[in-house]
Structure 1
Amino acid sequence: MITPDYCRTMARYNQWQNRAVTDCVQAMPPAALEEDRGAFFGSILGTLNHLLWADLMWMARLEGGSAPDVTSADSPEMTPNVREWARQRFVVDGRIREWARKLDAVDLVGELAWQSGSMRVEMRRPIALCVVHMFNHQTHHRGQVHAMLTAAGRDPGVTDLAMMPDAG
């Protein structure tokens, strides 16, 4: 289904896009980031926090380590401000890049089992599918953030994977 090279490319893409979003949101007033914009997670910061929460959750499942100490429902408030979000985002993006760098093809084979907090059941899915989901989830929610930023008169820049520096 996927290869370690796919994971490395998507980890680079994730980091590149998050840097652009970080540059954009750090220039915005807190009230604009916290304003309810009708998105599933409310605000720009709430959506960014949920995405950070999900990346931490998936990394805990894929490589071990601790999961976030808040639930999905509480994820929009995971960090209190954009400065703390940006600090944690930087660390998590490095963690994802390092995880992807170390992958071998065999690491993407087999099943992943975890206890779903929101569904309250044990889940089992192919590892490769879970990895694709993690990267797709990032793109999905960054798309929501991009739309909210655009509506707020901001431009986080190009998002096309093919336009990523050193994409080839």
Structure 2
Amino acid sequence: MDMPSYFGILARYNAWANLRLYDAVARLPVVEFERPRAAFFGSIRGVLNHMMVVDELFLARLNGTTAPDRPLNAQPWAHFNELRNARAGLDQRILGTITALPLSRFTEPFTYTTTRGDRFSDQLALFLGHWFNHQTHHRGQAHDMLTQTEVAPPPLDFLIFQRIHGLSEAAAG
């Protein structure tokens, strides 16, 4: 499989997993969504906002545009419905951007500046790998926080996504 196809699948998986997670979170009372928890970013609202802030930042880096100037722990979406709508729109922008990348971009040097002002240069494929891994890492934290509520967290396994969408090895066979 070529890199554009692989990262396109990861972008589709990312949107699918976020949708499933947000569908579960939507069933929480506001107090549970906002409840302080012993986890990164302190609550389900906090970790979901962090994912959005970083995704806006990474998408801006990828597109060579300026991201909103926010700290990584900012919570610009205080209300769940605002956050959910923003997430759905951002996931579509991520998917559109990733699937439009030409093959040549994946191995070219990709230079960006961190929030601390340091400049780094990596292959774009490594940057994208980190981006999708970051999403999975924090979705796992939100998933764990859901286990501390009355709402059962949904299965988010990549293999489930592959099978649902006919992407398993047997289907590719």
Q: CA deviation at 1:78?
A: 2.1
Q: CA deviation at 1:148?
A: 0.3
Residue of 120, 143, 150 corresponding to 1:153 = 150
TM-score (structure 1 length as normaliser): 0.91
Residue equivalent to 1:4 = 4
Residue equivalent to 2:85 = 87
**C-alpha distance in 1, partners of 2:141/2:40?**
9
Runs of 4+ in 1 over 4 A off after TM superposition: none
Residue equivalent to 2:100 = 102
Query: What are the within-5 Å matches in structure 2 for residues 16-165 of structure 1?
Result: 16-72=16-72, 74-75=73-74, 77-117=75-115, 119-164=116-161, 165=164
TM-score (structure 2 length as normaliser): 0.89
Conservation of the 8 A alpha-carbon contact between 2:106 and 2:125? yes
**C-alpha distance in 2, partners of 1:100/1:4?**
8
Q: CA deviation at 1:58?
A: 0.7
Question: What is the alpha-carbon root mean square deviation over aligned residues?
Answer: 1.6
List alignment gaps of at least 5 residues for structure 1: none
Q: Percent identity?
A: 34
**C-alpha distance in 1, partners of 2:98/2:43?**
30
Q: CA deviation at 1:101?
A: 1.8
**C-alpha distance in 1, partners of 2:99/2:6?**
11
**Cα 1:116/1:131, change in 2 over 3 Å:** same
Moved more, 40-49 or 21-30: 21-30
Q: CA deviation at 1:123?
A: 2.2
**C-alpha distance in 2, partners of 1:32/1:162?**
29
Q: CA deviation at 1:116?
A: 1.4
Conservation of the 8 A alpha-carbon contact between 1:161 and 1:167? no
Q: CA deviation at 1:26?
A: 1.5
> Secondary structure of the equivalent of 1:85?
helix
**C-alpha distance in 2, partners of 1:167/1:116?**
37
List alignment gaps of at least 5 residues for structure 2: 168-173
Q: CA deviation at 1:68?
A: 2.4
1:107-166 CA deviation, whole Å, 9 max, x = no partner?
21222222212x332222221111000000000000000000012132231111111121
**C-alpha distance in 2, partners of 1:24/1:127?**
33
Moved more, 7-16 or 104-113: 104-113
Moved more, 77-86 or 136-145: 77-86
Q: CA deviation at 1:167?
A: 4.4
> Residue 151 of structure 2 aligns to which amino acid in structure 1?
R
> Residue 50 of structure 1 aligns to which amino acid in structure 2?
H
> Residue 123 of structure 2 aligns to which amino acid in structure 1?
P
